[in-house]
């Protein structure tokens, strides 16, 4: 053990919490992808040196309290209206970096209209989209993104496509709009994927600096509480079931 | 005995025992403790410290950012 104590010295630190993340403990469930994505956004903001000019738009959903965790300015939007609020903030303060942070219930369900129109207008904002295929905060109900056959509290026998329709691939829809410059789908369940997601987020913020239009970073995520699995099992389930329907990679990059 | 090149410090009070770091570790250094922290979670700890290579994968995947990773500079522990 003395060996370890010789390594644990400040000059040997290679990974630690960024100061852009606050000291508040995250309220999310164990293993929740939200925490990882919060951290990545904080790291990108720190690396780009834009902490004092970044404005986040918090959604409704589990991440409604996102403003407690990043030491930047925030606005809280009504349910689904984060892209509309982000539009207003960016147009009034074009020198600032503006991003919305939304889940699938917010971005792809109640806020579909705002999402599509903000992207169609090519608003110069970053949209971070956390897709776990379920309404996590309210108790695991079926969302528009719930996979065929996937059980949820409102469809315990699994989603029936003949009754409920097929899951919506919102990123593919948004990629067709001329206003979007960058649409990508990532995940944060392994270290390699976390690194890729961070790169994608950085690119999205750089696109905003270059006035290129709307950048959307979808992160396929887990909801271990809603899916009723352990966090590590949820990650495996996501790889087996979510990725075939929501394949990872860049959908549009202009 | 393998010479440890890296080490981690887990903020055990913040750790929620999700275990994502245990699967991210390529050398199986991390396990969840039999004891629980103040929140009742089995927190992560270095069960096999000699195997740590200081890759920082555990810190990168930790959703609660409660792992600090250290790596000895080349030759420093020789």
Q: What pairing do the DSSP bridges indicate for beta strands A214-220 and A180-187?
A: parallel
Q: How far apart (Å, rounded) are the C-alpha atoms in residues A91 and A128?
A: 19
Q: How far apart (Å, rounded) are the C-alpha atoms in residues A233 and A42?
A: 27
Would you say A73 and A61 are in contact if contact means Cβ atoms under 8 Å apart?
A: no
**Smallest CA–CA separation between A32 and chain B, in Å?**
6
Would you say A174 and A168 are in contact if contact means Cβ atoms under 8 Å apart?
A: no
Task: Say what the pLDDT of residue B76 is.
Answer: 55
DSSP, collapsed to helix, strand or coil, labels residue A252 as strand
Q: How far apart (Å, rounded) are the C-alpha atoms in residues A215 and A194?
A: 18
Would you say A220 and A187 are in contact if contact means Cβ atoms under 8 Å apart?
A: yes
Give me the total of CB pairs closer than 8 Å, taking one residue from chain A and one from chain B.
109
Instruction: Indicate whether B77 belongs to any domain.
Output: no
Instruction: Indicate whether B60 belongs to any domain.
Output: yes
- Which pTM value belongs to this model? 0.95
pLDDT digits (tens, 9 = 90+) for A45-74: 999 999 999 999 999 999 999 999 999 999
Q: A65-87: buried (b, 16+ CB within 10 Å) or exposed (e) per residue?
A: ebbebbbbbbbebeebbbbbbbb
**Smallest CA–CA separation between A30 and chain B, in Å?**
5
Task: Say what the pLDDT of residue B73 is.
Answer: 78
Task: Say what the pLDDT of residue B3 is.
Answer: 65
A82-92 vs A112-121: helix crossing angle, rounded to 10: 30
Q: Residues near A221 by Cβ (< 8 Å), separated by ≥ 6?
A: A32, A33, A34, A37, A130, A131, A132, A187, A188, A238
pLDDT digits (tens, 9 = 90+) for A211-254: 999 999 999 999 999 999 999 999 999 999 999 999 999 999 98
DSSP, collapsed to helix, strand or coil, labels residue A159 as strand
pLDDT digits (tens, 9 = 90+) for A94-140: 999 999 999 999 999 999 999 999 999 999 999 999 999 999 999 99
Residue A43: pLDDT over 70: yes
Does any CB of chain B come closer than 8 Å to the CB of residue A188?
yes
Q: How far apart (Å, rounded) are the C-alpha atoms in residues A218 and A225?
A: 21
Q: What would the two tokens of residue A215 be? A: 């950048």
Does any CB of chain A come closer than 8 Å to the CB of residue B2?
no
- Give B-chain residues touching A31 at CB under 8 angstroms: 16, 18-20, 63
pLDDT digits (tens, 9 = 90+) for A156-205: 999 999 999 999 999 999 999 999 999 999 999 999 999 999 999 999 99
DSSP, collapsed to helix, strand or coil, labels residue A3 as helix
> What are the distances in angstroms from CA A87 to CA A57, A91, A180?
10, 6, 14
- Interchain CB distance below 8 Å, B23 and A235: yes
Q: What would the two tokens of residue B66 be? A: 């409660």
Instruction: Indicate whether B78 belongs to any domain.
Output: no
The CATH number covering residue B34 comes to 3.30.70.20
Task: Say what the pLDDT of residue B78 is.
Answer: 46
User: Which residue, B2, B73, B11, B71, is CA-closest to B43?
Assistant: B11
ipTM of the complex in this document: 0.91
Domains annotated for chain A, with CATH where assigned, are 27-141+161-253 (3.40.50.970)
Instruction: Indicate whether B49 belongs to any domain.
Output: yes
Nearest CB to B16; choose among A7, A30, A36: A30
Q: What is the mean pLDDT of residues A16-38?
A: 96
| Chain A: residue whose CA lies nearest to B66 | A17
Total tally of structural domains belonging to chain B:
1
Would you say B52 and B28 are in contact if contact means Cβ atoms under 8 Å apart?
A: no
- Give B-chain residues touching A224 at CB under 8 angstroms: 18
Mean pLDDT of chain A: 96
Task: Say what the pLDDT of residue A4 is.
Answer: 82
Q: What φ, ψ does residue B72 adopt, rounded to 5°?
A: -70, 140
Q: pLDDT tens digits, chain B, 78 residues: what are they? A: 456 689 999 999 999 999 999 999 999 999 999 999 999 999 999 999 999 999 999 999 999 999 999 999 766 554
Instruction: Indicate whether B76 belongs to any domain.
Output: no
- Interchain CB distance below 8 Å, A15 and B69: yes
By CB atoms closer than 10 A (0-12, 13-18, 19+), residue A129 is: buried
- Interchain CB distance below 8 Å, A14 and B56: yes
| Structural domain span for residue B51 | 6-71
User: Which residue, A87, A46, A73, is CA-closest to A208?
Assistant: A87
Would you say A47 and A89 are in contact if contact means Cβ atoms under 8 Å apart?
A: no
């Amino acid at each position: 053990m003395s060996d370890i104590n010789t390594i644990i010295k400040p000059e040997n630190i290679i990974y630690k919490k960024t100061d852009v993340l606050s000291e508040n403990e995250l309220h999310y469930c164990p293993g929740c992808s939200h925490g990882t994505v919060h951290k990545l956004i904080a790291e990108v903001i720190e690396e780009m040196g834009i902490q004092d000019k970044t404005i986040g738009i918090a959604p409704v959903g589990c991440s409604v309290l996102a403003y407690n965790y990043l030491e930047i300015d925030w606005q809280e939007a009504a349910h689904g209206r984060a892209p509309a609020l982000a539009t207003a903030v960016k147009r009034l303060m074009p020198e600032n970096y503006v991003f919305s942070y939304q889940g699938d219930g917010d971005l792809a369900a109640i806020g579909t209209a705002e999402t599509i129109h903000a992207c169609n207008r090519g608003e110069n904002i970053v949209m971070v989209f956390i897709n776990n295929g379920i309404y996590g905060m309210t108790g695991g109900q079926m969302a528009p993104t719930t996979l065929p056959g996937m059980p949820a509290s409102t469809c315990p026998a699994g989603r029936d496509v003949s009754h409920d329709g097929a899951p919506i691939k919102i990123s593919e829809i948004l990629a067709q709009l001329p206003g979007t410059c960058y649409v990508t789908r990532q995940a944060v369940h392994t270290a390699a994927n976390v690194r890729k997601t961070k790169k994608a987020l950085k690119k999205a913020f750089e696109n905003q600096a270059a006035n290129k239009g709307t950048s959307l970073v979808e992160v396929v995520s887990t909801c271990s509480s809603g899916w009723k699995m352990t966090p590590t099992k949820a990650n495996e389930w996501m790889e087996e079931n979510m990725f075939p329907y929501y394949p990872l990679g860049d959908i549009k990059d202009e | 005995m393998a010479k440890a090149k890296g080490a981690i410090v887990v903020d055990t009070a913040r750790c929620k025992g999700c275990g994502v770091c245990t699967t991210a570790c390529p050398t199986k250094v991390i396990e969840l403790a039999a004891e629980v922290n103040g929140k009742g979670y089995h927190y992560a700890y270095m069960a096999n410290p000699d195997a740590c290579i200081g890759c920082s994968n555990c810190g990168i995947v930790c959703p609660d950012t409660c792992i600090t990773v250290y790596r000895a500079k080349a030759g420093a522990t020789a």
